[in-house]
């Protein structure tokens, strides 16, 4: 595994009760009483304290913790996904499990919020940090030119990005080599004899999607394969089925398809069977991120396997190091490894010939 040093800026100083007390000219206890609605402070002083607190960006809910200097003993994760999808997406369930295990052992908790877009996710990080509900954050689904990265840098919030260093700015990344995994898969399919390969990808705009897109095109070009246009989806089974149908009904039907997650791959298997195609005799399928879901279908899916639980654990340990002020370099986790199963085989031969179609 490779470690890279990240020059993450030191945490910016959040406004404290002491700051307000100094400006207003009262004690910290008076500020705390005023912000928490306690007696012993005149109305005029209370109003002045409230005005200064608002001007400094001090959040009232943080008064007690700011007075004591205690840590929140929690980290935040804002996940941009439809809430109904979370329980059906094995990757994030495993990732969160790995994060939770490390945090629990350190007596930390995870503040998890499912949001509809990255802007709302950034609002959640701002609120948690301002109210001192978290000591650090984990950022996922890194986008190209992601506005969350400079915002979190400016906030001084200790943050680990689960994503490639190319898009993480000065934040600390934990990532794996997706390009190597794509190339290994395409080389495997080419060795079986496939010449027309399709790909059902994830969301456009994500850094890891772009890396996989580029690696797929480059590998097919280098090996002399026909790469069909990549079809992007939202990772759901519905979109996976629609994309598979589109590829299989095209004039130049692929003999193999690589999927960006296991849900779309399982949906693709159902579509192939619905169209009367035999997997793997007529069509080979490969799923990204192995899971029990990919293994219980028939045939079981060839998959790119990695220890997602350990991936989450590495991110959590790195974040705890950042929070504690210990050196925390970026961490390159093990790249996904191809696990062949029953969904891949040599492509079909045209009738009456001895050559691959």
**Ordered per-residue pLDDT tens for the chain, 357 residues:** 555 555 554 445 667 888 899 999 998 888 877 876 667 789 899 899 888 887 877 765 544 555 455 688 999 999 987 766 766 788 999 999 999 999 999 999 999 999 989 999 999 999 898 878 999 999 999 999 999 999 999 999 999 999 999 999 999 999 999 999 999 999 999 999 999 999 999 999 999 999 999 999 999 999 999 989 999 999 999 999 999 999 999 999 999 999 999 999 999 999 999 999 999 999 999 999 899 999 999 999 999 999 999 999 999 999 999 999 998 889 999 999 999 999 999 998 764 444 444
Residue with tokens 């149908």: 245
Q: How many residues in the chain?
A: 357
The reported pLDDT for the residue numbered 13 is: 61
| All residues at 6 or more sequence positions from 336 whose CB lies less than 8 Å from its CB, including other chains | 176, 178, 181, 288, 289, 304, 305, 306
Peptide bond into 299 cis (omega under 30): yes
Residue 50: the pLDDT is 86
> Do 152 and 130 contact (CB within 8 A), yes or no?
no
pLDDT value, residue 58: 74
Tokens of 92: 């994030």
- This prediction has a pTM of 0.80
Supply the DSSP symbol for 89.
Answer: -
pLDDT value of residue 89: 81
Strands 337-339, 302-305: parallel, antiparallel or unpaired by DSSP?
antiparallel
Strand (E) positions, 63-190? 74-80, 109-115, 136-139, 159-162, 172-175
Give every CB contact of residue 53 below 8 A, 6+ residues apart in sequence: 15, 20, 31, 35, 60
Phi then psi for 160, rounded to 5 degrees? Answer: -110, 130
List, in sequence order, every residue forming a beta bridge with 200; answer none if it has no partner.
231, 259
The DSSP H or E segment spanning 129 is: helix 118-130
Strand 330-332 with 3-4, pairing: antiparallel
What pLDDT is attached to residue 103?
97
Q: CA 86: distance to chain centroid?
A: 13
């Amino acid at each position: 595994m490779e470690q890279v040093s990240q020059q993450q800026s030191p945490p910016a100083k959040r406004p404290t009760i002491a700051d307000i007390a100094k400006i207003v000219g009262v004690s910290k206890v008076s500020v705390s009483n005023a912000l928490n609605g306690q007696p012993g402070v005149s109305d005029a002083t209370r109003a002045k304290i409230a005005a200064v607190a608002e001007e400094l960006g001090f959040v009232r809910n943080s008064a007690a913790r700011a007075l004591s200097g205690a840590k929140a003993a929690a980290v935040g994760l804002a996940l941009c996904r439809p809430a109904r999808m979370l329980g059906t997406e094995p990757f994030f369930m495993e990732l969160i499990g790995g994060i939770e295990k490390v945090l629990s052992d350190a007596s930390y908790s995870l503040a998890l919020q499912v949001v509809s877009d990255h802007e709302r996710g950034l609002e959640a990080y701002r609120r948690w940090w301002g109210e001192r509900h978290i000591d650090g954050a984990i950022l996922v689904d890194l986008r190209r030119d992601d506005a969350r990265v400079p915002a979190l840098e400016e906030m001084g919030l200790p943050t680990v990005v689960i994503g490639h260093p190319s898009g993480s700015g000065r934040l600390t990344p934990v990532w794996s080599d997706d390009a190597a995994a794509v190339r290994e898969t395409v080389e495997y399919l080419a060795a079986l004899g496939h010449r027309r390969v399709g790909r059902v990808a994830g969301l456009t705009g994500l850094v890891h999607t772009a890396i996989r897109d580029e690696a797929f095109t480059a590998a097919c070009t280098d090996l002399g394969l026909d790469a069909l246009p990549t079809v992007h989806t939202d990772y759901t089974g519905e979109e996976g089925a629609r994309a598979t149908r589109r590829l299989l009904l095209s004039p130049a039907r692929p003999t193999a398809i690589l999927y960006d997650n296991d849900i779309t791959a399982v949906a693709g298997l159902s579509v192939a069977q619905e169209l009367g195609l035999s997997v793997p005799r007529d069509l080979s399928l490969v799923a990204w991120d192995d899971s029990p879901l990919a293994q219980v279908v028939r045939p079981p899916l060839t998959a790119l396997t990695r220890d997602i639980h350990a991936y989450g654990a590495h991110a959590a340990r790195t974040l705890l190091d950042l929070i504690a002020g210990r050196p925390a370099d970026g961490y390159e986790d093990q790249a996904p490894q191809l696990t062949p199963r029953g969904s891949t085989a040599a492509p079909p031969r045209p009738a009456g010939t001895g050559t691959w179609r």
